[in-house]
């Protein structure tokens, strides 16, 4: 017969205590290795924080550090070029562990995610032997975001994405403890693979490339509104395509001080705060883990971007010629680019540029997006709930660094833009960052490269071919100033350097 003898009670008590200790240790261990949040070390400058500061992406979209680390070593064949992560055209500072726009934060284990700077730090060189100059908040015209999206999914789809292969490479590169190696082998690698594979179907439209008329985004562009549709609101894929240049995001205050202006290429969003929130949510790939912290970072970013000023043209400017150019500008350009109309929508029928970007967005998508963000408990003025009708007449501050031109980056230099459509280049190369101060833009054609004595830096090897005959890549429209005499064009270009 069972009876609660004192001895049995004691034994039970000991067992329970032991059990509790084991469970408590297990819970602590699980928390420590998987959930413990270690804040990033403080940043010395605002620029550093912009470049490497977490916006919260590590929770939902973070990839374990060592997996990010070894992917280009295990899958060099899936990279867009021969030079590891550098081949994506990230801006990567010498001496810095991760490319700009990559954030590293420990949540249990070190994780890597992305922030705004990945697409919004520009690089340029004045000669091929220079190291790149980096401009925070400038457009990253060298970064092949689409290739990066595809790389992660393609790696996960490859049979080499397994614990054995990845661990062999990790062991060559790092010095992980036994327990961390086990965690990677049995937990992180399989889960990461699963998560990356889940991204695949949503990205189906970026795998269409190669179909007739369906171009790559290429370096320096993304299909921003489709990303919003498919990822923020999980709308079904449609047949639209609207890749546009990564925009500069300096001096956002101008949208505040000029009432009636809107943001995004087609004026799809009411204000800077909304655009920043929506873009950041895109990077998180999910609602923030902590709304308060997320919105605090947004507030900081908004302030930083409002204040940051466009960089000055880095070479001497012929002031007399620029002064003459100002007259040309006032007569031919100012009505859109320096007037009350600046920052407002110009109907596409009027400007005549490629229409595909406009077709990639609509009222229903805006309504759904606004609902989605509201449901996350985030208040913002949001997206304009109307079908887009045209393109924003751009503010031209820092226009020298914003090549290639037009919303879809279809015209390589400002001088090309002052030519009639028939005379604009049909094929050129994007993503090479040596600056062409004569025509204002980046060197983008081999003949030019030869002319400037830089033919050694094979533009082809580092740039993405960009052919304006592909759908959405049209270089038509905006035929303003194309009939000006050569001298006036030269003067106008000189003036544009001063903006």
Partner 1 sequence: MDDPWRWRFWTLLAIVVGVPVLAGVLLALRFLPDRPVTYANIEDHFKYGSTGGERNAGFPLFIWKALPVVFADKLPRNGATGYEAFGMIYEKDEHGRPRELPVGVMRRRNLGLDRVFVNCAVCHSTTVREAPDKPRKVYVGTGASHFDLGLLEKFFGDIVVDERFTANVLVPAVERESGGKLGVLDRNLVYPVAIALMRERLLMLRDRFLPLETEKWGPGRVDTWNSAKAGLSFVISGLPEHERRGAVDFPSIWNQRKRKHRDDGQPMQLHWTGNNVSVEERNLSAAFGTGATPRTVDHAAIGRLEDWLLDAAPPPFPFPIDRAKADRGAAVYTKHCASCHGKSGQDFSGAYVGHVTPVAKAGTDREHYNSYTYELATNQNVLYAETRYRFTHFRKTDGYANMPLDGIWLRGPYLHNGSVPTLRELLDLPEARRATFYRGYDVLDPVRVGFVSDVPEENGRRFTFYDTKEPTKSNRGHLYGVGLPPADKDAIVEYLKTF
- As to burial, measured by CB atoms within 10 angstroms (0-12 exposed, 13-18 middle, 19+ buried), residue 22 is exposed
C-beta of 73 vs 469, nearer to partner 1? 73
Annotate each residue in 398-437 with x if it binds partner 1 (CB under 8 A) or - if it does not, as one string: ----------------------------------------
Considering only 168-176, 265-273, 370-378, 436-444, which stretch makes contact with partner 1 by CB under 8 A? Answer: 168-176
Q: Which is nearer to partner 1, 172 or 422 (CB)?
A: 172
Least distance to partner 1 from the beta carbon of 258, Å? 39
- Contact region for partner 1 (CB under 8 A) — 67-75, 150-158, 221-229, 341-349? 67-75
User: Among 174-182, 221-229, 295-303, 488-496, which window interacts with partner 1 (CB under 8 A)?
Assistant: 174-182
Cβ closest to partner 1, residue 10 vs residue 460: 460
| Contact string (CB under 8 A) for partner 1, positions 73-112, x = contact | xx-xx-x-xxxxxxx----xxxxxxxx----------x--
Specify the stretch interacting with partner 1 by CB under 8 A; choose among 29-37, 166-174, 194-202, 435-443.
166-174
Nearer to partner 1, 38 or 173 (CB): 173
Are 103 and 112 within 8 A, CB to CB?
yes
Torsion of CA 462, 468, 474, 478, to 10 degrees: 80
Instruction: Please give the helix or strand (H or E) that residue 465 lies within, else none.
Output: strand 464-467
Q: Is 444 in the site for partner 1 (CB under 8 A)?
A: no
Distances (CA, A) of 469 to 36, 48, 71, 237: 52, 40, 34, 24
Residue 212's SS3 state is coil
**Please, which residue, 261 or 454, has the CB nearer to partner 1?**
454
Q: How near is the Cβ of 385 to partner 1 at its closest, in Å?
A: 43
Is there binding between residue 457 and partner 1 (CB under 8 A)? Answer: yes
DSSP at 228: I
User: Which tokens belong to 377?
Assistant: 């408990």
Cβ at position 441, least distance to partner 1 in Å: 21
Q: List the one residue out of 438, 498, 317, 402 whose CA is nearest residue 135.
A: 402
Minimum distance, C-beta of residue 162 to partner 1, in the bound complex (Å): 15
175 binds partner 1 (CB under 8 A): yes
- Is 179 near partner 1 (CB under 8 A)? no
Tell me if 173 contacts partner 1 by CB under 8 A: yes
Question: 457 by DSSP, 3-state: which?
Answer: coil
Identify whether the C-beta of residue 142 lies closer than 8 Å to the C-beta of residue 89.
yes
Whether cis (ω within 30° of 0) applies to the bond prior to 302 is no
Q: Which is nearer to partner 1, 276 or 443 (CB)?
A: 443
Q: How far is the CB of 285 from partner 1 (least distance, A)?
A: 24
Q: Of 457 and 479, which CB lies nearer to partner 1 in the complex structure? A: 457
Among 14, 17, 18, 129, contact with partner 1 (rule: CB under 8 A): 129
- Position 182 contacts partner 1 (CB under 8 A): no
CA distance 175 to 359: 51
CA dist 143 and 165 (Å) reads 28
Cα 125 from Cα 118, distance rounded (Å): 18
DSSP string covering 132-189, please?
Answer: PEEEETS--TT--HHHHHHHHHHHHHSTT-SHHHHHHHHHHH----HHHHHHIIIIIH
Residue with Cβ nearer partner 1 (84 or 487):
84
Nearer Cβ to partner 1 (329/432): 432
For the CB of residue 82, give the shortest distance to partner 1 in the complex, in Å: 3
Token couple for 34: 């998987």
Give the tokens for residue 2: 């069972």
Helix 145-157 × helix 189-199 angle, to 10°: 120
The one among 40, 107, 158, 174 contacting partner 1 by CB under 8 A: 174
What would the two tokens of residue 495 be? 């003036």
Binding residues vs partner 1 (CB under 8 A): 65, 69, 72-74, 76-77, 79, 81-87, 92-99, 110, 129, 131-132, 171-176, 456-458, 461
């Amino acid at each position: 017969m069972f009876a609660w003898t004192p001895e049995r009670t004691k034994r039970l008590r000991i067992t329970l205590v032991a059990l509790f200790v084991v469970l408590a240790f297990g819970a602590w261990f699980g928390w420590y290795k998987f959930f413990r949040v270690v804040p990033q070390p403080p940043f010395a400058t605002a620029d550093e924080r912009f470049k490497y500061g977490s916006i919260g992406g590590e929770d939902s979209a973070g990839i374990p550090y060592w997996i990010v680390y070894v992917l280009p070593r295990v899958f060099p064949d899936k990279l867009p070029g021969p030079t590891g992560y550098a081949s994506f055209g990230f801006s990567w500072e010498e001496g810095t562990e991760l490319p700009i726009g990559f954030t590293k934060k420990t949540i249990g284990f070190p994780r890597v995610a992305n922030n705004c700077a990945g697409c919004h730090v520009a690089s340029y060189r004045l000669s091929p032997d220079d190291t790149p100059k980096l401009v925070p908040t400038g457009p990253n015209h060298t970064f092949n975001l689409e290739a990066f999206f595809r790389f992660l999914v393609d790696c996960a789809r490859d049979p080499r994405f397994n614990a054995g292969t990845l661990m062999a490479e990790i062991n060559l590169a790092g010095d992980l403890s036994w327990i961390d190696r086990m965690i990677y082998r049995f937990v992180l690698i399989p889960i990461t693979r699963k998560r990356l594979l889940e991204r695949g179907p949503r990205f189906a439209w970026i795998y269409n490339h190669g179909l007739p008329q369906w171009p790559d985004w290429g370096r320096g562009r993304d299909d921003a509104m489709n990303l919003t549709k498919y990822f923020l609101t999980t709308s079904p894929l449609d047949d639209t395509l609207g890749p546009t240049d990564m925009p500069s995001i300096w001096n956002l205050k101008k949208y505040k001080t000029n009432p009636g202006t809107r943001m995004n290429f087609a004026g799809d969003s009411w204000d800077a705060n909304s655009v920043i929130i929506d873009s950041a949510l895109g990077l998180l790939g999910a609602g923030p883990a902590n709304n308060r912290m997320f919105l605090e970072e947004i507030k900081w970013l908004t302030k930083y971007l409002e204040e940051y000023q466009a960089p000055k043209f880095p070479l001497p400017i012929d002031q007399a010629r620029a002064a003459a150019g100002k007259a040309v500008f006032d007569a031919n350009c100012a009505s859109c680019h320096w007037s009350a109309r600046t920052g407002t929508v110009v109907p596409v029928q009027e400007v005549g540029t490629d229409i595909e970007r406009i077709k990639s967005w609509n009222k229903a998508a805006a309504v759904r997006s606004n609902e989605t963000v509201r449901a996350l408990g985030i208040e913002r003025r949001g997206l304009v709930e109307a079908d887009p009708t045209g393109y924003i007449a751009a503010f031209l501050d820092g226009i020298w660094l914003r090549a290639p031109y037009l919303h879809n980056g279809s015209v390589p230099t400002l001088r090309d833009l002052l030519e009639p459509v028939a005379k604009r280049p049909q094929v050129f190369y994007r993503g090479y960052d040596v600056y062409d101060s004569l025509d204002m833009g980046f060197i983008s054609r081999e003949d030019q490269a030869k002319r400037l004595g830089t033919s050694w830096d094979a533009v082809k090897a580092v740039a993405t071919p960009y052919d304006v005959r592909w759908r959405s890549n049209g270089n038509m429209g905006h035929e303003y100033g194309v009939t000006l005499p050569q001298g006036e064009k030269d003067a106008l270009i000189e003036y544009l350097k001063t903006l």
